[in-house]
């Protein structure tokens, strides 16, 4: 949950809060954006109440990558790891960048500081090969190095303030 940044473009966030602060919120491991109250018209409970009215848990008002990690890791261990242990298992996970960063942090034992510099290119599949103990042996993107670098640069440039042209 992007908290109070929900519904704002990354460029608009940078204009409102400054590039440095937006980078901290987007890339740090443990600093979440400001919360989005459940009464805010942008909150999922307001935009799609029928989808959330019967939830037995409360939707977070904001999340850091650490929060995502703590939410995703139990699911990964309980639901995905058992399937990965089957002979010849190949699992496809389709998700957004924060969940991929959380899984990469786990699979590659990436430190809290180093994860800040991990950029996940949009729309480029990431393949992991795991050993029998489910430790990463190798990983790679299914794209040329040039495509990956270009996409990662685009990610790094998101959240930078650009002034409107007159």
- For residue 93, give the CATH number of its domain: 3.40.50.1240
Write the burial class of residue 5 (CB in 10 Å: 0-12 exposed, 13-18 middle, 19+ buried): buried
Question: Is 30 contained in some domain?
Answer: yes
- pTM recorded for the entire structure: 0.87
Structure confidence by residue, pLDDT tens digits, 137-151 = 999 999 999 999 999
Q: Is the pLDDT of residue 128 over 90?
A: yes
Question: Is 87 contained in some domain?
Answer: yes
Question: Is 79 contained in some domain?
Answer: yes
The Cα–Cα gap between 111 and 56 comes to 33
* 163 carries a ligand binding annotation: no
Domain interval for residue 103: 3-157
* 27 carries a ligand binding annotation: yes
Question: Is 76 contained in some domain?
Answer: yes
- On whether the CB atoms of residues 68 and 37 are closer than 8 A, the answer is no
Q: What angle do CA 96, 98, 99 make, to 5 degrees?
A: 70
Question: Is 165 contained in some domain?
Answer: no
Q: Closest Cα to residue 91, out of 101, 99, 79, 102?
A: 79
* pLDDT bucket at 68, cuts 50 / 70 / 90: very high
Structure confidence by residue, pLDDT tens digits, 4-46 = 999 999 889 999 999 999 999 999 999 999 999 988 998 888 8
């Amino acid at each position: 949950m992007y908290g109070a940044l929900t519904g704002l473009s990354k460029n608009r966030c940078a204009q409102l809060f400054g590039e440095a602060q937006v980078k901290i919120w987007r890339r740090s491991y443990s600093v979440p954006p400001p919360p989005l109250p459940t009464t805010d018209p942008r909150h999922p409970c307001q935009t799609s109440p029928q989808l959330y009215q019967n939830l037995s848990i409360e939707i977070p008002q904001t999340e850091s990558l650490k929060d995502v990690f703590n939410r995703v890791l139990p699911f990964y261990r309980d639901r995905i790891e058992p399937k990965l242990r089957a002979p010849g298992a190949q699992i496809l996970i389709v998700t957004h960048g924060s969940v991929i960063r959380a899984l990469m942090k786990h699979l590659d034992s990436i430190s809290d500081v180093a994860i800040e510099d991990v950029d996940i290119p949009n729309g480029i599949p990431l393949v992991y090969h795991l050993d029998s103990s489910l430790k990463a042996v190798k990983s790679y993107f299914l794209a040329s190095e040039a495509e990956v670098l270009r996409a990662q640069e685009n990610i790094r440039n998101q959240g930078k303030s650009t002034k409107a042209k007159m």
